[in-house]
Chain A
Amino acid sequence: MIQRLTAVRPYWAIFSARFRTLLQYRAAAVAGFGTQLFFGFVRVMVFEAFYRSSTAVQPMSFPEVVTYIWLGQAMLLIVMFRADTDVQAMIRSGTVAYELVRPTDLYALWYVRALAMQTGPLILRAVPMFIVAGLFLGLGAPPSLASGAMWVLATVGALALSSAIATLLTISLLWTISGEGISRIVPAAVFVFSGMIVPLPLWPDWAQPLLDFLPFRGMADVPFRIYMGHIPPHDAVFALAHQAAWTVALVALGRRLLARGTRRLVVQGG
């Protein structure tokens, strides 16, 4: 047991160091909060207009959509990720060689960095949004304790999943260096197919099987619908399993790619 703990210690140190660095950016968090509030307002008004245009019964009620939108604004940073800019600079300058000689597992190192990068700013932004949107803007509370508890689990799972994708983006830098193309397209795809723009239940029925299969819903749609009880707690188990399966698959893929990437990596001496 003690040996196990010492093995985890370096990763924990990296996680907490990065986490604390990111908590320093409070001014950015304030500005980001204002921006998210604004976008939330626009979305709520647009959906209000759409709901007034049709009398047909929808898979989600308008108050549910409002909760979904504010959850999206609160948890926005889960899907706002990009390749690690520090690693990018290291690959450009060649100092990435130091990363390779460290007596730690490189994938775990980069994964933990991504995890810290996702978690720190998220907490800074989510807490004020929950307070403001919960008090004034129609963000409802979970219908039951079970839904709330499952939501916490789903959020942890969402962070694990999004960190796996962010790490994949970082690893792709070993091939593309600038990473400009992929690192723009993937976040945009995640943004849309996770439900951040349009809640996934409102997408056309024929698209549902595909959206259900893809990993993206695990980052937004799944936790949000668990929160509001749209996915009841006993069904949430399946959604969490789907999320975990994709995380494991993407971590495995990342490990393979990283092994191949480091084998062909050429660092010039000097």
Chain B
Amino acid sequence: MLNGLRLYFRYAGISLRGQMQYRASFAMMALGNFLVTVIEFLGILALFSRFGSLREWALPEVALFYGMVSCAFATAEAVARGFDVFPGMVKSGEFDRVLVRPRSTTLQIAAQHLQLMRIGRFTQGLIILLWAASALDVAWSPATVLLLVAAVLGGACLFSGLLVLQATMAFWMTESLEIVNCLTYGGVETAQFPLSIYRPWFRRVFTFLVPLACINYFPAHAILARRDPLGSPALFQWLAPAIGVIFLLITLQIWKVGVRHYRSTGS
């Protein structure tokens, strides 16, 4: 385990050094990633300036939801980017090489590319999050800060799990399913706003099928010390981020099934 972790950092270090060879290009990409998310946030600002509030939610509260999910997704994109390019590895047969090495496949796939440019989105999410934290009327304590960090990490696990799931499909079909983008990019879009504003069937999808609410909506209620209109108990709100980790563990099991089904293209 420890050995695996050390190997991961070796891999990641090499990947980083590679990206740093093209400093200007990296800076442009990170800046681009940052500005894109800033521009997108203008839309939310425009809506609040027009309507004043979203049901019983004010802008700083929605900014908290936005910042949490944005940081989580940026982390997942940076760390699990290797799974994004995985379908190509199956097609080219390059996955065979990964299989003959005496280390876990997940580690090798995940570590092959640490996409540092995602720091752009992460920075933007963090700025929004910090602004929300200061604008909100919340008594911050070590416990709530810890819950916030746990929610972001749980969210990073959840989104990583979705990327693993998308990659796993490549074992059975050659075309990667763009439809999973509904759950990743669509999930980010959805979780920018409190889940209670959506229709019930839609809420259920993002609570039970893809437990996005557990790393965003529920812990945010504990942080804001607000009563959840959907009636979740306080204890559950505090423990909910762990479900993101469980989700990742489940998807890794499905991944293992996929690896056992793998038949090389032979090339």
Contacts and interface: CB of A to CB of B under 8 A. Distances in A.
Given A31-B178, A32-B178, A53-B55, A192 B49 contact: no
B131 interface: no
A158 B189 CA distance: 26
Contact of B54 (A39, A50, A58, A184): A50
Interface string A106-141: 000000000000000000000000000000000000
Contacts of B181: 35
A270 interface: no
B191 to A, nearest CB: 10
Given A32-B178, A46-B197, A49-B193, A198 B32 contact: no
Nearest to A207: B46
A46 B33 CA distance: 25
A210 interface: no
A203 B50 contact: yes
B54 A53 contact: yes
B13 to A, nearest CB: 23
A204 B33 contact: no
Interface stretch (B35-43, B104-112, B147-155): B35-43
Contacts of B199: 45
Contacts of B32: 180-182, 184-185
Interface string B171-182: 000010111011
- Decide if the interface of chain A is mainly helix, strand, loop or mixed: helix
Contacts of A185: 32, 35-36, 39
Contacts of B193: 46, 49
A39 B188 CA distance: 11
A184 B29 CA distance: 8
Q: For this complex, into which size category does the number of interface residues on chain B fall? A: 35 or more
B197 A45 contact: yes
Contacts of B54: 46, 49-50, 53
Contacts of B178: 28, 31-32, 34-35
B179 A49 contact: no
Contacts of B36: 184-185, 188
A27 B29 contact: no
B25 to A, nearest CB: 6
Given A184-B29, A188-B39, A198-B47, A42 B52 contact: no
A58 B46 CA distance: 13
A192 B47 CA distance: 12
Contact of B51 (A27, A31, A54, A192): A54
A47 to B, nearest CB: 8
A265 interface: no
Contacts of A176: 28
Contact of B189 (A27, A39, A53, A178): A39
Nearest to B186: A38
A120 B249 CA distance: 42
A149 to B, nearest CB: 31
A41 interface: yes
A189 interface: yes
A35 B186 CA distance: 8
A50 B29 contact: no
B202 interface: yes
Contacts of A182: 32
A52 interface: yes
B49 A204 contact: yes
A102 B191 CA distance: 51
A246 to B, nearest CB: 20
B202 A41 contact: yes
Nearest to A32: B178
A31 B50 contact: no
A13 interface: no
Nearest to B22: A178
Interface in A162-188: 176, 178, 180-182, 184-185, 188
B190 interface: yes
Contacts of A248: none
Given A45-B197, A185-B32, A27 B186 contact: no
Given A45-B199, A204-B46, 19 more contacts: A34-B178, A34-B182, A35-B178, A35-B179, A35-B186, A45-B197, A49-B198, A50-B47, A50-B50, A53-B53, A54-B52, A180-B25, A184-B36, A185-B35, A185-B36, A188-B39, A188-B40, A189-B39, A207-B46
**Considering the complex of A and B, which 7 residue pairs feature the smallest CB-CB distances, nearest first?**
A181-B28, A31-B178, A49-B197, A184-B32, A197-B43, A188-B36, A38-B182
16 contacts: A31-B177, A35-B181, A41-B202, A42-B198, A46-B54, A50-B51, A53-B53, A54-B53, A58-B50, A180-B25, A181-B32, A185-B35, A188-B40, A197-B40, A197-B43, A202-B50
